[in-house]
Amino acid sequence: MSSWKDLYSEVKRRKMEALDKKDVVKAVEKHGKILAVEGRYEHPKKVIDHMYAAKHITISPNDIMKYNLSDYDVVLIGCPGDKIPHSAFPKISEYVSLTGGWLITTDWAIKYIVENIFPGYIRWNGQKTADAVVACQIVEPDHPFLEGVLSEIQQAKWQKMTAKDTKKAEFKWWLENRSFPIQILSPAVRILIKSYHIKQKWGEDPVLCYFNHGNAGGRVIHLISHTHLQKGGAKGKYASALILTNILDEKVSTKMGISKKPTKGYVSDWEQPQTYAQPQQETSYGQNNQYLNPTSSNMGLTGTTQIVEVDVNSANFSYADKCSYCGYDYGEYRGKIYKCQSCETTYHENCLNMQINEGTCKNCGKILLW
């Protein structure tokens, strides 16, 4: 492929001719809207300008307050996201939680955007990768975000453009110098692509993951590295373009009620997750077992405790305190903080909501009551 324009033209052609998505592509061309926020290290304009969509624009971080995010199906925030004003955080939260928008974040935005606005799901593990190109394994080939990716990258044409040490079902992903590995904090997070190489070198293996947020169908999708994978090789760039367009396809299809014909290996409706099973997590995630398998040692207690909002101006509170659910402090967090009245252990608001699903305080085991 000689350019991003050629690459995205190829993606569109293959979807219409070979992947039985002609109706979806036409719907996205007519109705799909994506807004990208430029990052210092991420330049989404390079790719989204060539996406088939009714509207695709790229703005500077300071301009985000000028736009009505709910006008867009997908908002992409490029790495690192640190120039987005904190005053925009509630707006981004409402876009996902209340209006059902889909947010895509890349690389360092895990720290500056996701951890601050949607705490308790994923976080940076504190490691920084080298400038490296790593092989990626597809965990859920039948997920709509990965629709067609596995079959497409196994075409003979891509095998000829692939490094000899890459397996047929893999593609290479470029980690820029100091990419941030993704640590999973909640079982609500779904991993779609991972890399054994990243796990071996830097402790975590997720490459692409997402979680749902709110009751309106909102979703946060995060990937390590960037959407413009200059060193990822033709096969990796093609996979990246398929994934990015698939996300917009799925959002528009869901919004408009388009029924897609399931093709071999495909799942046609992301709202029915039971149709594709979450693969068994590796035992190497043992370090996070306290998140994936909350302790049940105190579940037999019948005592109750009230949930109380923390007064952050109180002398008894410190931003260095750590959330009982995710173990992360409140240093850059701007949302509400709650505590168990009985043991005074604290929680991010979203972490508390997830702990309530377990029924009891993570620290003292008493039943949590509002």
**What are the pLDDT digits (tens) for 192-251?**
999 999 999 999 999 999 999 999 999 999 999 887 665 666 778 888 899 999 999 999
Same domain, 161 and 79: yes
Cα(59)–Cα(119) distance, integer angstroms: 25
Residue 101 pLDDT > 90: yes
Same domain, 324 and 364: yes
pLDDT band at 291 (very low <50, low <70, confident <90, very high): very low
Q: Which residues of 163-181 are buried (b: 16+ CB within 10 A; e: fewer)?
A: eeebeeebbbbbbbeebbb
Same domain, 345 and 215: no
Q: What's the pLDDT score for residue 261? A: 56
Q: What's the pLDDT score for residue 193? A: 94
Strand partners, 94: none
The answer to which of 111-120, 267-276, 307-316 has the lowest mean pLDDT is 267-276
Instruction: Tell me whether residue 339 is exposed, middle or buried, using C-beta atoms within 10 angstroms of its C-beta: 0 to 12, 13 to 18, 19 or more.
Output: buried
Q: What's the pLDDT score for residue 86? A: 95
Residue 347 pLDDT > 60: yes
- The enclosing H or E element of 350 equals helix 349-358
Q: What are phi and psi of 359, to 5 degrees?
A: 100, -25
- The most confident of the ranges 35-49, 74-88, 137-151, 169-183 is 74-88
Same domain, 147 and 232: yes
Asked if residues 127 and 181 have their Cβ atoms less than 8 Å apart, the reply is: yes
- The most confident of the ranges 113-127, 156-170, 264-278 is 113-127
Cα(47)–Cα(39) distance, integer angstroms: 14
- The residue among 285, 319, 347 that closes a domain is 285
Same domain, 304 and 188: no
- For 109-162, the DSSP string reads HIIIIIHHHSTTSEEE-S----SEEEEEEES-TTSGGGTTHHHHHTSHHHHTTS
Domains: count for the chain: 2
Same domain, 347 and 281: no
74-77 and 102-106: which strand pairing? parallel
Q: What's the pLDDT score for residue 118? A: 97
74-77 and 33-37: which strand pairing? parallel
Q: What's the pLDDT score for residue 229? A: 61
- The residue among 266, 285, 304 that closes a domain is 285
Three-class DSSP category at 23? helix
Cα(183)–Cα(206) distance, integer angstroms: 8
Same domain, 157 and 213: yes
Q: What's the pLDDT score for residue 168? A: 66
Neighbours of 97 (CB within 10 A): 19
Same domain, 134 and 79: yes
pLDDT band at 296 (very low <50, low <70, confident <90, very high): very low
Q: Mean of the pLDDT values across residues 274-301?
A: 34
Q: What's the pLDDT score for residue 278? A: 38
> What integer best gives the mean pLDDT of the chain?
82
Q: What's the pLDDT score for residue 360? A: 80
Same domain, 227 and 319: no
Q: What's the pLDDT score for residue 162? A: 53
The answer to which of 46-55, 134-143, 296-305 has the lowest mean pLDDT is 296-305
Q: Return the percent helix, strand and coil in the chain, to nearest 5.
A: 35, 20, 45
Same domain, 209 and 340: no
- The residue among 285, 317, 344 that closes a domain is 285
- Identify the DSSP state of 170: -
Q: What's the pLDDT score for residue 13? A: 92
We report the CATH number of the domain holding residue 40 as: 3.40.50.880
Q: What's the pLDDT score for residue 286? A: 33
Same domain, 157 and 249: yes
Cα(153)–Cα(159) distance, integer angstroms: 8
Same domain, 271 and 163: yes
Q: What are phi and psi of 6, to 5 degrees?
A: -65, -40
Q: What's the pLDDT score for residue 211? A: 97
Cα(264)–Cα(368) distance, integer angstroms: 46
The answer to which of 80-89, 126-135, 202-211, 234-243 has the lowest mean pLDDT is 234-243
Residue 135 pLDDT > 70: yes
Residue 328 belongs to domain spanning:
294-369
